[in-house]
């Protein structure tokens, strides 16, 4: 029983030993370490100065930006426009409620032991869009209507991305299943749908949705530009999603299908309980990749005259009252996108770790 008392050898290194092993193991490794260190020191210092130390945070007018660093006044003065677009000030609480609900539903997803986080997540993909459907456009339940032409900024970016993501996943799943179906008509339709939408650039889709579609639709059947853009984005995204998911479906061994069939599970139960949970887990990185690129692609709605967060910033950096604030504006936009995309990415990593059930058979 000697082996039961043996522990695996500990592998700890002091900081000096760690550095010697990882940073200075050979002469060229040492050289690279020094070079990279030099570059970091020379580039990060000025960056920090520009962003924080020399930056201007106080005041309210362009003239208050006297320091050498960034002029954040520009962003803070226009923040309302960047976040809500032309949404009326006195009604912005409705959007704030949605931001709050979004945070309540999804921030706990990053906290491992948060009680009831599953239910909050479920609310986030069911209740939240329903509430948003009534609250943001208004017009019902005594809420003053706000036309979609007034929506803009970060709020519009989030609406486009959120609905695009939420709707494209189930449609993508159905398309992927259809493409692997035994029924030739269904398979054919799915193949055509996927190949047509995937082969078209999103810009073209948006143009078609905003300019061409109204020409073909009968008089009076026209609907909102935003809705048309949303449908275009969702269908376009679904085609990509379908191919990502099909990759996962193909990776599931035939034995899994057979075992499920042999147990008497019908098609939908077999897919829903056995095949999809495994296939989706396998392609989480691909799905997240698609989500993130969709999130960023929403900026293209600018060309059909919708002002997402990038659009609102772009339209203000040319304001003659403010000189040379373009960099600050774009850094702000970049930061907005980074926060959300990084969040999606982190969440998916948590999910992958949680779903790992040991090596495959």
Is position 348 an interface residue for other proteins (rule: CB under 8 A)? no
Conformational region of residue 67, where left means phi above 0, alpha means psi within -120 to 50, and beta covers everything else: beta
* Site size toward other proteins, by CB under 8 A: 24
Is position 355 an interface residue for other proteins (rule: CB under 8 A)? yes
Q: Which is nearer to other proteins, 10 or 354 (CB)?
A: 354
Is position 140 an interface residue for other proteins (rule: CB under 8 A)? no
Cα separation, 55 vs 71, in Å, equals 6
Is position 277 an interface residue for other proteins (rule: CB under 8 A)? yes
Tracing tokens 């949680």 back to the chain, one arrives at 354
Is position 259 an interface residue for other proteins (rule: CB under 8 A)? yes
Query: Min. distance of Cβ 357 from other proteins in angstroms?
Result: 4
Is position 14 an interface residue for other proteins (rule: CB under 8 A)? no
DSSP H helical segments within the chain, as ranges?
2-5, 15-22, 27-48, 73-84, 92-106, 117-125, 127-135, 153-179, 184-198, 202-207, 213-216, 225-251, 254-262, 267-269, 276-282, 284-297, 309-317, 326-355
* Residue pair 1/7 in contact by the 8 Å Cβ criterion: no
Is position 255 an interface residue for other proteins (rule: CB under 8 A)? yes
CB atoms within 10 A of CB 74: 26
Q: Which is nearer to other proteins, 10 or 359 (CB)?
A: 359
Choose the stretch contacting other proteins; rule: CB under 8 A; options: 26-34, 271-279, 307-315, 319-327. Answer: 271-279
Q: Per the structure block, which two tokens stand in for 130?
A: 């329903």
Cα separation, 198 vs 246, in Å, equals 14
Query: Min. distance of Cβ 259 from other proteins in angstroms?
Result: 4
Site string for other proteins, 305-334 (x = CB under 8 A): ------------------------------
Using CB under 8 A, list all residues that contact other proteins: 253, 255-256, 258-266, 269, 273-274, 277-278, 281, 355, 357-361
């Amino acid at each position: 029983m000697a082996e039961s008392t043996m522990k695996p050898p500990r592998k700890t290194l002091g900081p000096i030993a760690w550095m010697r092993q990882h940073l200075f193991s050979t002469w060229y490794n040492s050289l690279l370490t020094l070079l990279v260190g030099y570059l970091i020191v020379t580039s990060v210092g000025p960056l920090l100065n520009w962003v924080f130390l020399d930056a201007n945070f106080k005041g309210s007018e362009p003239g208050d930006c006297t320091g050498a660093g960034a002029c954040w006044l520009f962003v803070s003065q226009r923040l309302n426009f960047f976040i809500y677009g032309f949404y009326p000030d006195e009604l912005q609480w409705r959007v704030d409620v949605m931001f709050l609900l979004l945070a309540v539903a999804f921030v706990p997803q990053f906290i491992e032991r948060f009680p009831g986080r599953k239910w909050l997540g479920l609310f986030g993909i069911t209740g939240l869009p329903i509430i948003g459907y009534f609250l943001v456009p208004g017009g019902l339940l005594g809420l003053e209507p706000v036309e979609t032409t007034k929506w803009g900024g970060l709020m519009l970016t989030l609406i486009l991305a959120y609905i695009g993501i939420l709707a494209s996943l189930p449609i993508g799943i159905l398309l992927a299943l259809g493409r692997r179906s035994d029924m030739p008509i269904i398979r054919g339709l799915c193949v055509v749908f996927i190949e047509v939408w995937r082969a078209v650039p999103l810009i073209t889709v948006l143009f078609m949705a905003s300019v061409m579609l109204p020409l073909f639709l009968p008089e009076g059947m026209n609907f909102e530009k935003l809705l048309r853009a949303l449908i275009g984005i969702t269908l376009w995204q679904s085609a990509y999603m379908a191919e990502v998911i099909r990759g996962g479906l193909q990776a599931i061994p035939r034995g899994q299908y057979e075992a499920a069939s042999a147990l008497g599970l019908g098609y939908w139960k077999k897919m829903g309980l056995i095949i999809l949970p495994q296939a989706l887990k396998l392609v989480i990185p691909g799905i997240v990749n698609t989500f993130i690129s969709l999130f960023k692609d929403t900026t293209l709605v600018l060309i059909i005259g919708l002002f997402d967060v990038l659009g609102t910033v772009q339209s203000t950096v040319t304001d003659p009252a403010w000189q040379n604030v373009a960099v600050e504006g774009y850094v702000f936009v970049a930061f907005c996108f980074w926060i959300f995309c990084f969040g999606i990415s982190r969440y998916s990593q948590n999910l992958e770790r949680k779903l790992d059930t040991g090596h495959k058979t």
